[in-house]
């Protein structure tokens, strides 16, 4: 039997990360889950992936804003069966105009959405290089290419991760390692639901009204991408068919950035 590859997905207890972990498990990768949430829900996801797909699942509660915890998480993943695929997905949002943007909110968004991918990659790369194989997939956003009001830290972090992806690709171009970014438009996850609920509260409208308004403002295709589809895109980027795709950022955005 061919040994299964091991994929670590940061922020995989919810939303897109959960969809990616599930797609990779379905494609027969062993999985390390990471992220916060209700311990019972996390245990249920852990068990679901193991029983449905028959792969080995681990969980790390490392905080992606803490470099020392990231280092330990990657070292443990490598020690426990080796690491093949690193998906940097954990992310948070904070919405405010720049002049009102809290300093600690800026630092939090930059550390979780950008710096964590530097730290995970730094510790995973020597292992990938020694093996001559590795895949890094960074979940950026349309906001890696364009701006929107009230999202200064998020837009800066996502532009940053698109740049980091290019350097990771160039430095490892002939070592069997690829690094790519995926840039989703709207995906209906808790991160986006919170923004919709905040808009409904602010404008005195319904969640349904604001859901349609949100899509209509920016995205020509009036439907959400699903976490499952982002998961399928990650599986593709890890496949042999994609082994010369590196340094790219792939938009999955219903035409948002085609305008």
Kindly list the distances between the CA atom of residue 78 and the CA atoms of 22, 36, 105, 125, 126, in Å, as whole numbers in the listed order: 21, 21, 32, 11, 11
Question: What are the φ/ψ torsions at residue 111 (nearest 5 degrees)?
Answer: -70, -45
Q: Which stretch binds ligand NAD (CB under 6 A): 33-41, 46-54, 163-171, 214-222?
A: 33-41
35 vs 67, beta carbon nearer ligand NAD: 35
Q: How many residues touch ligand NAD (CB under 6 A)?
A: 30
Q: Which stretch binds ligand NAD (CB under 6 A): 124-132, 145-153, 184-192, 241-249?
A: 184-192
4 vs 66, beta carbon nearer ligand NAD: 66
Closest distance to ligand NAD from the beta carbon of 175 (Å) = 26
For residues 187 and 89, give the distance between their C-alpha atoms in angstroms, rounded to a whole number.
Answer: 13
Q: Does 186 bind ligand NAD (CB under 6 A)?
A: yes
For residues 243 and 236, give the distance between their C-alpha atoms in angstroms, rounded to a whole number.
Answer: 10
Kindly list the distances between the CA atom of residue 112 and the CA atoms of 9, 29, 40, 153, 176, in Å, as whole numbers in the listed order: 14, 25, 24, 11, 27
Contact 168, 121 (CB under 8 A): yes
Query: From the list 189, 211, 219, 251, which residue makes contact with ligand NAD (rule: CB under 6 A)?
Result: 189
Q: Does 147 bind ligand NAD (CB under 6 A)?
A: no
Tell me how many degrees the CA angle 161-9-189 measures, rounded to the nearest 5: 80
Q: Does 128 bind ligand NAD (CB under 6 A)?
A: no
Its sign, for the CA torsion 93, 98, 100, 105, is positive
For residues 255 and 219, give the distance between their C-alpha atoms in angstroms, rounded to a whole number.
Answer: 6
Q: Does 231 bind ligand NAD (CB under 6 A)?
A: no
Which pair of tokens denotes residue 171? Answer: 């430095």
Which pair of tokens denotes residue 247? Answer: 């340094």
Contact 166, 246 (CB under 8 A): no
Q: Does 35 bind ligand NAD (CB under 6 A)?
A: yes
Which pair of tokens denotes residue 31? Answer: 């999985």
Q: Which stretch binds ligand NAD (CB under 6 A): 1-9, 88-96, 97-105, 213-221?
A: 88-96
15 vs 231, beta carbon nearer ligand NAD: 15
16 vs 152, beta carbon nearer ligand NAD: 16
Q: Does 146 bind ligand NAD (CB under 6 A)?
A: no
Please say if 154 is a catalytic residue.
yes
Q: Which stretch binds ligand NAD (CB under 6 A): 47-55, 60-68, 170-178, 212-220?
A: 60-68
Q: Does 65 bind ligand NAD (CB under 6 A)?
A: yes
134 vs 184, beta carbon nearer ligand NAD: 184
Report the interface residues with ligand NAD, using CB under 6 A. 10-17, 34-37, 63-65, 89-92, 112-113, 139, 141, 184, 186-187, 189-192
Q: What residues act catalytically? A: 154
């Amino acid at each position: 039997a061919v040994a299964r590859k091991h994929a670590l997905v940061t922020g995989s207890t919810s939303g897109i990360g959960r969809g990616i972990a599930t797609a990779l498990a379905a494609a027969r990768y062993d999985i390390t889950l990471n992220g916060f949430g209700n311990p019972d829900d996390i245990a249920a996801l852990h068990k679901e992936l193991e029983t449905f797909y028959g792969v080995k699942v681990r969980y790390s509660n490392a905080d992606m804003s803490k470099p020392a915890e990231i280092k330990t998480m990657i070292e443990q993943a490598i020690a426990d069966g080796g690491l093949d695929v690193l998906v940097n997905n954990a992310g948070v949002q904070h919405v405010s105009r720049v002049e009102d943007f809290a300093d600690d909110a800026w630092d939090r968004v930059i550390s979780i959405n950008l710096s964590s991918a530097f730290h995970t990659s730094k510790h995973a790369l020597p292992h990938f290089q020694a093996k001559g194989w590795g895949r890094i997939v960074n979940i950026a956003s349309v906001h890696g290419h364009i701006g929107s009001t009230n999202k200064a830290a998020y837009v800066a972090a996502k532009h940053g991760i698109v740049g980091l992806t290019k350097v990771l690709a160039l430095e490892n171009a002939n070592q069997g390692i690829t690094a790519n970014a995926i840039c989703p438009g709207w995906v209906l996850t808790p991160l986006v639901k919170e923004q919709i609920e905040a808009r409904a509260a602010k404008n005195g409208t319904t969640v349904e009204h604001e859901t349609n308004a949100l899509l209509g403002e920016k995205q020509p295709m009036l439907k959400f991408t699903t976490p499952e589809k982002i998961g399928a895109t990650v599986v593709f980027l890890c496949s042999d068919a994609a082994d010369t795709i590196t340094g790219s950022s792939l938009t999955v955005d219903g035409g948002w950035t085609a305008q």
